[in-house]
Structure 1
Amino acid sequence: MILLTRKADFSAAHFYWNDSWTEAENFRVFGKCANRQGHGHNYTLEVTVEGEVDPVSGFVVDLKQLKDILEQEVVSVYDHRHLNHEVPEFKTAVPTTENIAIAIWRRLDGKVPNAKLHRVRVYEMPELFADFYGEGA
């Protein structure tokens, strides 16, 4: 078994807000990130898959196919979007780095042929990232 990681980038806006809290509570917990106009980030996504190396191709997965899956399932959906307003999973979940990693996992799980999803890492900025290893990890 070997691990293979592919990176992708997307830019998106978001804000932190819990509808069940008062405005004061949202600003107390989330600070300036509760500004409903939102703010943006240039995110970096790392998706790690695990599997066996094909003895003929030398690959765990078809790299072009993995790139296309990331583009279709994540980049085309998230890039240059306001996550709170335009991405369905964040209509009810706060688009924190942690929740973005979980949402991306759910979008990708089971969609990479001949490999198992191992880890989703989302960088909100170079010094802040979240790792998700799946629902049962």
Structure 2
Amino acid sequence: MIYLTRVENFNAAHKLSNPAWSKEKNQEVFGKCANDNWHGHNYELHVTIKGTPDPETGFVFNAKTLGDVIKDVIVEKVDHRNLNMDVDFMAGKFTSAENLAIAIWDELAKNLPPAAQLHCIKLYETPRIYVEYYGGQ
């Protein structure tokens, strides 16, 4: 089994806030991330697929094609957007890095051909904070 990872970047704003809680409780739990005026991140997205290399190309999947799909399906929808308000696949979801990674997986899974079997989504929110998602395994 060979694993191929494509890395893309995007910038997005969001706010972490539970509408069932008071402003004080949100501040206590989420701190600066509950700022009424939002806050942003320079995200780094790692999309890893797996498979067996094709004997004719040597590729598990064409890395440029993978990048094009990620850009079309994810980056174009989230880059310089507000995750809480502007991103269709995040509508009604809490915009934590964890939920964003799951939503990215779901969107890519619907838009990648069978040859590009998703293995992992790794999403860096900051250089020191990232999440990994393996599709509910």
TM-score (norm 2): 0.94
Q: Spell out structure 1 runs of 4+ moving beyond 4 A.
A: none
Q: Partners in 1 of 2:13 and 2:51 — Cα distance?
A: 34
| Structure-1 residue corresponding to 2:13 | 13
In structure 1, runs of 5+ residues without a counterpart are: none
* CA drift at 1:23: 1.5
What letter is aligned with 1:63? A
SS at match of 1:130: strand
Per-residue Cα deviation, 1:51-80 (whole angstroms, up to 9, x for no partner) = 110011110002221111100111000000
TM-score (norm 1): 0.94
What letter is aligned with 1:59? F
In structure 2, runs of 5+ residues without a counterpart are: none
| Structure-1 residue corresponding to 2:123 | 122
Q: Number of residue pairs matched?
A: 136
Structure 1 vs Structure 2: percent identity of aligned residues?
A: 44
Q: Which moved further from structure 2: 82-91 or 4-13?
A: 82-91
| Structure-2 residue corresponding to 1:131 | 132
Q: Which moved further from structure 2: 87-96 or 118-127?
A: 87-96
Answer whether contact 1:122 1:130 (CA < 8 A) is retained.
yes
What letter is aligned with 2:121? V
| Structure-1 residue corresponding to 2:57 | 57
What letter is aligned with 1:8? E
